[in-house]
Chains A and B, each alone.
Chain A
Amino acid sequence: MIALSVAAALAIFVVYTALAGNGVQQVTPSTVAGHTGDVTLVGAVVGAPQTSAAYTKAGMRFQLKDIGSASAARVPVVYHGSVPDLFKAGRHIVVEGSLRNGVFVAKPGSLVTKCPSKYAPAKSSKT
């Protein structure tokens, strides 16, 4: 009986993943090149972007680099829409969108700062 139910649950699961697709591709600034279509970009903010520009026509512009690795890869990002809390240089963020002509065009409002990991080794001021 238990086996049956487990099978049923697994079946629902398999059907869902088959229909809904295998999640969204997650990339970093060093791996984003060459990806067409929607991806999720994870990176650390470089420099101090003007958050209020997020509502102008031109949008807010900033650069992202890899978290943790010493890679020199940088990706320019243009973003419109509400800026989440604690967005600033060095913060790790996640943003959805797609790469167009070398610039990552973000989906409006899709910028998320990662849940602050209080226990990660010292970052912010050092990155």
Chain B
Amino acid sequence: MAPLGRAALLLAFGLVAYALLAGSYAAWKRRRRLALSAQNALLAAFPTTLVAAVVLLVALGRRDMSFAYVWEHTSHKLPLGYALSAFWGGQEGSLLLWLLVLTGYAGLAVWLNRRSRELIAWTVPVFGLVGVFFAFMLCFVSSPFNVQPAPPDGRGMVPSLQNPYMLAHPPMLYLGYVGLTVPFAFAMGALLSGRTDERWIVATRRWTLAAWTFLGVGQLIGAHWAYVEIGWGGYYAWDPVENAALMPWLAATAFLHSVMIQEKRGMLKVWNMVLVALAFNLSLFGTFLTRSGVIDSIHSFARSSIGGWFLAFLGLMVFLSVALIRWRLPLLRTKTRLESLVSREATFLYNNLLLVALCLTILWGVLYPILSEAVRGETRSVSKPYYDFFLHTFGLPLLLLMGLGPLVAWRRASLRSLGKTFLVPFAAAVATGVALLALGFGSSWPGLLAYTFGAFVAASIVLEFVRGRAAAGGIFRLIARNRRRYGGYVVHAAVVLLAIGIAGSSAYQTERERVLRPGQSVEAAGYTLTYLGSTGVSGPNYTGFRSLVSVAGHGERFALHPGMNSYDIEGPANVASIYHDPRSLGDVFTTAQLAGQHSNRIDLKVFVKPLINLIWAAGFLFVAGALVAMWPDAVEQRRLAARYAAGAAPAGI
């Protein structure tokens, strides 16, 4: 079976290499049949990779320990679902997943746009280049199909990975990461073919939006996982692995906005090219970060088998992106200028600058340890205060801009118009701010600002819907006719919820830690938690304890059972107990550890996190908004098809 997998991968490598080489030659020398042939090779790469993927899946399902990869990541006792999820649990398998999603996306995107022969002729080799890297790694450096004499049982899967999140989180992220290759390939294809029109944007708009949604949702799932399972009381730790997904997402967010300006005003063509290249390269970098452990230190980087290759490929892609953009700079430059600093274009531009600034500061924070080690020989690192500072500095104005943007007209907004539309949201914000101050929320100014700006944005969005409904004659008609705009507003509403949830659960959280004997209590934010005692628990691969904590406060009574599991293989793990308060949409989050070996005293940690559940709710709203924005619009499709069909027809004999 393994030889089949290996053969399939070799074939896939051959196909993408052909797509790259023959495709480039065909596009350069304008050979129609060769270009089609290269296209076919790219299309064929997906079913071929799929065969390899199926071989691995079957081996995992059967727990075929002759596969070194299966032995490394599963065991006979492991439930089937988790055994299959080991597909992306290890390095080789996740590379295969990358290639699979890449060839799938590439094939579909190229097929759907096959009539744009000139653009596709150059897009195919770009996909081929990315595919060649991953296929090469899979065939010659890091193969999932290494065999060995089958040992009796496998190494098993880390218990912290054996939960439903492992089934959802990595695939979502991959669908996002890899998805960013599509707009990149089309953008580079456009540059290579010298086409400065919008075809590549029109072709990839939904792809970018879908990839961005997957990446965002994947991160939220990861955050929820960290919060509920890892149990340190938070959901985001600015760990390099977490930042690895956030950076491309921020770049993609900037890109989604600036592309709209190019559409409406024909401006910012160079900037869009830079952004799409940034998003793609950051997603490669993110994949590299999570694979190679390079951030631990330069020494661990050298240990990883693929670190060097990844870095080289990343360097190549950055170089190619820059070179291509520079080469086509004269073509991309337009004469259109920003007419006014107070216009919707301008707010989009500010939004872009803030997003990119935030993205780059995170990148700097991630690279700092390596850079300082290389430059000074000593490793320094930055931590939460650094990231929090910049999150506030850039994030809060971004939040405000979300509310300002819709209020401002395109091209030029007179202050009089602004005044009219501004009034209600501004009043709502001021009222909220004053009320919150009176209620004591001034303890955290970033939190206060987040809430106030959130009110501003929320009011502005509601007004958009109200005014729009009146003009369009019904809310469904309004949304149906302006899918992108109102889908975008829904997504903005989700971001407001996210911001409020983050602000509430961090700026206004209450944290208490106390060592308690049975009968003792601790007080937190109006809740009284009384420790009543502990009982031992045990499971197939762990022993531990659960404490009984009775909680009363705010007119409610409930019980929590924080404790610990001590796994035979993995060691101790916190088992957090969380109460979701429907009244405040917040959580009472508790963890407990035994304080002293032979006592029943516990060290109880309590976090009261107001409004945290808004974060998870935001995730759903996020997806809903994105779906609305992505929904195909028959009228628009026809118009676009007509526009490009006319252009694509051969001009004369």
Contacts and interface: CB of A to CB of B under 8 A. Distances in A.
A55 B595 contact: yes
Contacts of A68: 296-297, 299-300, 303
Contact of A23 (B290, B383, B515): B383
A127 interface: no
Given A6-B353, A67-B300, A85 B237 contact: no
B208 interface: no
Contacts of B304: 120-121
Contact of B232 (A13, A42, A84, A120): A84
Interface stretch (B87-95, B193-201, B437-445): B87-95
Interface string B560-588: 00000000001111100000000000000
A72 interface: no
Interface in A56-99: 56, 67-69, 82-89, 91-92
B316 to A, nearest CB: 22
A86 B597 contact: no
A62 to B, nearest CB: 12
Contacts of A86: 160, 570-573
B209 interface: no
Contacts of B230: 85
B572 A85 contact: yes
B385 A5 contact: no
Contacts of B601: 55
Interface in B523-538: none
A19 to B, nearest CB: 10
Range for the number of chain A residues in contact with chain B: 35 or more
B297 A67 contact: yes
Residue among A16, A27, A31 facing the most chain B CB atoms (10 A cut-off): A16
Contacts of A109: 513
A12 B645 CA distance: 49
Contacts of B572: 51, 83, 85-88
A117 B290 contact: yes
Contacts, number: 143
A118 B89 contact: yes
B469 to A, nearest CB: 36
B323 interface: no
A82 B239 contact: no
Contact of B90 (A9, A40, A52, A119): A119
A119 B160 contact: no
A22 interface: yes
A122 interface: yes
B232 A85 contact: yes
B291 interface: yes
A95 to B, nearest CB: 13
Contacts of B603: 55, 82
A73 to B, nearest CB: 14
A91 B571 contact: yes
Interface string A29-52: 001000000001010000000111
B235 to A, nearest CB: 13
A57 B305 CA distance: 44
Interface residues of B, number: 67
B393 interface: yes
Given A55-B603, A67-B300, A86-B572, A23 B382 contact: yes
Interface in A107-127: 109, 114-122
B570 A88 contact: yes
Interface string B583-614: 00000000101111100010101000000000
Given A55-B603, A114-B296, A118-B158, A9 B573 contact: no
Nearest to B338: A1
B389 interface: yes
Contact of A116 (B158, B231, B300): B158
Contacts of A16: 386, 389-390
Contact of B299 (A69, A84, A92): A69
Interface stretch (B373-381, B472-480, B486-494): B373-381
A11 to B, nearest CB: 11
A27 B297 CA distance: 11
Contact of B596 (A2, A56, A120, A122): A56
B51 interface: no
B293 interface: yes
Contact of B380 (A5, A25, A116, A117): A25
B573 A13 contact: no
A6 B349 CA distance: 12
25 contacts: A1-B349, A2-B271, A2-B353, A9-B353, A23-B380, A23-B383, A25-B378, A26-B381, A52-B595, A53-B596, A55-B515, A55-B603, A67-B297, A82-B605, A85-B573, A86-B160, A88-B570, A115-B242, A116-B160, A117-B293, A119-B94, A119-B293, A120-B300, A120-B303, A120-B304
Given A16-B386, A82-B593, A88-B571, 20 more contacts: A1-B349, A5-B350, A12-B393, A16-B389, A20-B386, A23-B368, A25-B379, A26-B380, A26-B381, A42-B297, A52-B594, A55-B595, A55-B601, A55-B603, A82-B605, A86-B572, A87-B572, A115-B239, A117-B293, A119-B291
Leading 7 A-B pairs by shortest Cβ distance: A88-B571, A55-B595, A26-B379, A9-B357, A23-B380, A23-B382, A119-B91
